[in-house]
Structure 1
Amino acid sequence: MPAARESLLDAAYTALARRPWSAVRMVDVAAAAGVSRQTLYNEFGSKEGLARALVRREADGYLAGVERALATHTDPCGRLTAAAEWTASAARDNALVRAMLTGCWSERLPAPTLAAVPSSSAVPAQRRADGPLPSPGDLVRIVRDRAVMVLGGPGTAKADDCELARSCEFVVRLALSCVAAPPGEGGIAELVRGALPGQVI
């Protein structure tokens, strides 16, 4: 029941914006989503399962945004700048994305273990959520690899590929530094342009 699952995740996310995760009650999440508490437990199994599913959804949403950002321009610098700006923006606007990218989980947030947990769920999406959740290092590697895939065409030489991977990872890490210490307006684009070697971009 994908629609109910998304409604429950939306309700949990909204509840989390209003109160600490420890004060979010399953019965309130179910009521806000317009489903029974039993439906909530059928989908997620427990509050921990709901937390894992919420973190997984926000990670997937962040990565989908990276894909969109990398597709918005034709030039490599523009693509990397868009991905860096999306990373900083997503972390600024979404506390769960910020925690996933930085590894800094406040007491207000759910902090599920990143390791896989035993899953007896019959719901495929929950089995995936019960699998390993991405660490900050995992997310850096995923974004770097996606950027390399978009930017490195079939004619890229191995040496160029290594340099491209280093540059892409550098841009992701530069974006993360902007999460902690935001630059002024237009600052990320200037930082990316100034930091990338001309032969890579």
Structure 2
Amino acid sequence: MPAARESLLEAAGAALSARPWPSVRMVDVAAAAGVSRQTLYNEFGGKAGLGRALVRREADWYLDGVDRVLRAPAGSGDRLASLAEWTVRAAAARPLVRALLTGHWDGNLPAPPGRGARPGVPAPGPGELAGAVRDRAAEVLAAPDAAHRCELAVRLALSFVVAPARESGLGELLGLLRLLSEPSRTAGGR
């Protein structure tokens, strides 16, 4: 039931944006999705399974956005700056993405997959997500030191996620990233 599964994940995401995860009720999620509670339990096994699937979906959503940014026509420096901006904005807008990127999970969110006794495919940790982004950038950009420059861009962006700056601060980050992302003019002469 792919359609029911997606509807349930949409409904759970909407419920989570309105209230903390412990207050989200399965009967309300099922009703919002237009399916029975039994369908929810058949798809996810319960609230913990729904939470794990929601976390996994947010990780996939973030990485899909990374792919879109990296494949957009622009110079590699501009793409890395755009990637940093995407990371900061996605984390600001979506609490699960912020938790995935920082590793900070509070009681208002579903527990990430793979933590403790919760079975399932583990959610990627912050280092794994940064590594996945780095590897994707290296593949797409195919430039010398692309992986290293992407890692730098992502880690700088994560510093803004952890310690947010005013909006103009994001512009400063993007300008810095554009400078750092350009190949060194002296590197070839060494």
Residue 148 (structure 2) pairs with residue 131 (structure 1)? no
Residue in 2 that maps onto 1:173? 155
> What displacement does 1:74 show?
2.9
Q: In the TM superposition, what whole-angstrom CA distance separates every residue of 1:100-157 from its partner, at most 9, and x where no partner exists?
A: 0001112211123435954xxxxxxxxxxx212101111000000000001116xxxx
CA–CA separation in structure 1 for the residues paired with 2:67 and 2:42: 32
8 Å contact from structure 1 (residues 167, 196) kept in 2: yes
Residue in 1 that maps onto 2:134? 144
Residue in 2 that maps onto 1:122? none
Matched letter for residue 126 of structure 2? P
Unaligned runs of 5+ in 1: 119-129, 154-159
Unaligned runs of 5+ in 2: 186-190
8 Å contact from structure 1 (residues 114, 134) kept in 2: no
Matched letter for residue 114 of structure 2? L
After superposition, residues 67-146 of structure 1 pair within 5 angstroms as 67-114=67-114, 118=119, 130-146=120-136
8 Å contact from structure 1 (residues 48, 112) kept in 2: no
Residue in 1 that maps onto 2:188? none
Residue 14 (structure 2) pairs with residue 14 (structure 1)? yes
Matched length: 181
Residue in 1 that maps onto 2:179? 194
Moved over 6 A (4+): none
TM-score (normalizing by structure 2): 0.88
Q: In the TM superposition, what whole-angstrom CA distance separates every residue of 1:49-103 from its partner, at most 9, and x where no partner exists?
A: 0001000111100000000011123311011111111111100100000000001
More deviation in 80-89 or 105-114? 105-114
Provide the secondary structure at the position in 1 that maps to 2:132.
helix
Provide the secondary structure at the position in 1 that maps to 2:106.
coil
Provide the secondary structure at the position in 1 that maps to 2:112.
coil
> What displacement does 1:187 show?
2.5
Matched letter for residue 196 of structure 1? S
CA–CA separation in structure 2 for the residues paired with 1:165 and 1:150: 10
8 Å contact from structure 2 (residues 114, 122) kept in 1: yes
CA–CA separation in structure 2 for the residues paired with 1:63 and 1:178: 18
CA–CA separation in structure 2 for the residues paired with 1:187 and 1:87: 15
> What displacement does 1:197 show?
5.3
Residue in 2 that maps onto 1:58? 58
Provide the secondary structure at the position in 2 that maps to 1:114.
coil
CA–CA separation in structure 2 for the residues paired with 1:182 and 1:143: 23
More deviation in 31-40 or 106-115? 106-115
CA–CA separation in structure 2 for the residues paired with 1:192 and 1:114: 34
TM-score (normalizing by structure 1): 0.84
Residue 26 (structure 2) pairs with residue 26 (structure 1)? yes
